[in-house]
Amino acid sequence: MKYYFWVIISLVLGMSCSLNQGSKNSQKMEKNTVNQEDTVHKIIKTETEWKLQLSPDAFRVLRQNGTEYPFSGKFDKHFQKGTYVCAGCQLPLFKSDTKYNSGCGWPAFNDQLNTNNIVQVEDHSHGMQRIEVRCQRCDGHLGHVFNDGPPPTGLRYCINSVSLDFIPDKAENKEENQTHK
């Protein structure tokens, strides 16, 4: 039931976002809403279960919509080859080849790995009008997406490091192991 609520909210907000913003990039952001044909199975946990699983900082960001301080996250200047996954449920979110240094103080990506893995929600908190991005599987708060990124998408997914884990590519692991012998 909660899943359908979020799907409907995401679709309605995605459509209203594209109506309010006429740019090409907002149209691209609308396309990134949940595709019902290829759904991700939800993980539902109590707040107590999340508190036991996550660090206090990860809980504050993922479960309470917090934000880490700029330039403080472990993945801000991280450029190893691999996949960034949700720290709450390990759902793959971004590939390292879409990561770039935006200078904003948080990890930035110009595209998501799979449009079905991230939900976009209109966010009017703190007197701003933004698009929040959440993990489709666990509903964890990841960060926001903006229309000021580099080509080809023109998007900047500004993501909290604490909401991510990293899985290095196997080829990268082999090279690292060979250099340490």
The catalytic residues are 158
Cα–Cα distance, 19 to 65 (Å, whole number):
26
Cα–Cα distance, 58 to 74 (Å, whole number):
12
Strands 164-168, 82-86: parallel, antiparallel or unpaired by DSSP?
A: antiparallel
